[in-house]
Structure 1
Amino acid sequence: MTDYHSQIQTEAARLAALAGDLSVPVPTCPGWTLAELITHVGQTHRWATHVLRNQVRERIWSRQVPGDLAEGENGDADWLAAGAAELLETLRATDPSMTVWTWGPDERASWWPRRILFELVIHRADAELALGADPAIPAETAIDGVEEFLHNLPHAAWVTRRLAELGAEGATIHLHANDADGEWTITQGPAGKITWARGHAKGDVAVQGPVADLLLLLYGRRSPDALTVYGDRALLDRWLAAAAF
């Protein structure tokens, strides 16, 4: 079983260590500085903690949960670390099989650690890119991240609405890691929903590259120009623009 708790602890510490000059703009999150990014991540931690501690079963969004900040105030490294520690304590004390609200397909507490990990991984990458560093994501983590993204995507209504507008039903996108055992084919279905399968296949467009870059590509943090693309590049560009969280 994947130790998401330890990975969350590591990623939260890495992000907190990047939260020095909070005025630095974050190009991959247009309009945000590091202050807004830190606040977003820390608020997400407090949201998950609230859902789990209170065994929430009705939809509740992050903005509805108190963030321990004054109106208009942003969080900092210490505030981020405090929220992450509280969340980890809660996760370790929670039965993974407990029924709680999630926005994904799994209405169990076990959905949250994996989601929180990749929220941290991607936003840590945002911070590193903002500071001129190249994000490093272990291949095993990136493979899990690709599949976590695809697992949840059909349930992200704000994304499926955009995908439905593409008129691309039946289109296929193949992702092929060249540094790890990872291949996936995404098929665009009706109403913006997708299906996906592991393994080698031909697609209308195929993208090949390091698996960490494939993960960042799905989240709109890496341009297809940094990878090898075969087939319908226009389809890929349109799909990625609509699908990115």
Structure 2
Amino acid sequence: MGQVTENNARSADQATENGAGGGRIAHIETEAARLAALAGDLSVPVPTCPGWTIADLITHVGRTHRWAVHVLRDQVREKIWSRQVPSGLAEGQSGDAAWLMEGAAELLDTLRTTDPELEVWTWGPDRRAAWWPRRMHFELVVHRVDAELALGLDPVVPAGVATDGVEEFLHNLPHAVWVTRSLAGLGMEGATIHLHASDGEGEWTITQGPTGKITWARGHAKGDAAVQGPVSELLLMIYGRRSPGDLTVHGDRELLDRWLAAVDF
């Protein structure tokens, strides 16, 4: 795969959004149903989200869906967070599978009927409605994985989805201020981390910049730390759902561990 910078990748990313919009919405529908099917015993602890149970996980995802619906339907252009949007739950009440699917249905209807070029608020770099389907897709993928791990199941993320997920994460990371604050405190400016998908699904080099922000490029390069493994495992690692010890690590393992701890969503 040739060298492509994060900035130059924008046109390719937009083409993906526009060309596969229906496919992404179908993925959201599938992932929501899969997560709801896992919401049987809501009291099960979720180790990858310390302090949470399945009930907390379902509540978080359902609130996130309602947040996206509110931003898109009301064409919100000022910063607003999910806790500021009514969820339909009483104070202290948790969501369940039916409540999750109700919000997912509303989200799907909203995504299908909203102009992707509509200007709305996002916490990422794109101020268009098209930003939301991709973000909601991977919100569901990662939390479905959380539920599966909690229940002792082996999660599967298709390689093509995982590749898109790695790039969605890197695309948004410089704009996640709660993460860049943590990265800024590491004193790692100029450090590089290379991700290499062993199943041929891509390579990426992340460079730590000033004020905690990152830049990234596609393609082969040498990093201060490098991680090799299936792209689905790389995705789960950057989200803190897999240990780098489960993959092949070269170079500065301590640097890698510190960086992963700082980017924990």
TM-score by length of 1: 0.99
Structure 1 stretches of 4+ with a deviation exceeding 2 A read none
Q: Which residue of 1 aligns with 2:63?
A: 43
For 1:27-46, what per-residue CA distance to the aligned partner results, in whole angstroms no more than 9, with x for missing partners? Answer: 00000000000000000000
**Is the Cα contact below 8 Å between 1:139 and 1:180 reproduced in 2?**
no
2: distance between equivalents of 1:200 and 1:133? 33
Q: Which residue of 2 aligns with 1:187?
A: 207
1: distance between equivalents of 2:160 and 2:264? 21
Aligned partner letter, 1:104: G
Q: Which residue of 1 aligns with 2:165?
A: 145
Q: Which residue of 1 aligns with 2:30?
A: 10
Secondary structure of residue in 2 paired with 1:174? strand
Query: Structure 2: which 5+ residue stretches go unaligned?
Result: 1-18
Q: Which residue of 1 aligns with 2:105?
A: 85
Q: Which residue of 2 aligns with 1:200?
A: 220
Q: Which residue of 2 aligns with 1:72?
A: 92
Superposed counterparts of 1:12-161, under 5 Å: 12-161=32-181
Secondary structure of residue in 2 paired with 1:208? strand
Given candidates 221, 229, 240, the residue that maps to 1:209 is 229
- State the identity as a percent: 77
**Is the Cα contact below 8 Å between 1:35 and 1:76 reproduced in 2?**
yes
1: distance between equivalents of 2:224 and 2:258? 13
Aligned length: 245
Secondary structure of residue in 1 paired with 2:132? helix
2: distance between equivalents of 1:209 and 1:43? 33
CA RMSD of aligned residues (A): 0.5
Superposed counterparts of 1:220-231, under 5 Å: 220-231=240-251
Secondary structure of residue in 2 paired with 1:203? coil
Offset, 1:181: 2.4
Q: Which residue of 1 aligns with 2:16?
A: none
Instruction: Give the structure, 1 or 2, with the largest relative contact order (CA under 8 Å, sep 6 or more).
Output: 2
Secondary structure of residue in 2 paired with 1:122? helix
**Is the Cα contact below 8 Å between 2:160 and 2:201 reproduced in 1?**
no
Given candidates 239, 242, 245, the residue that maps to 2:262 is 242
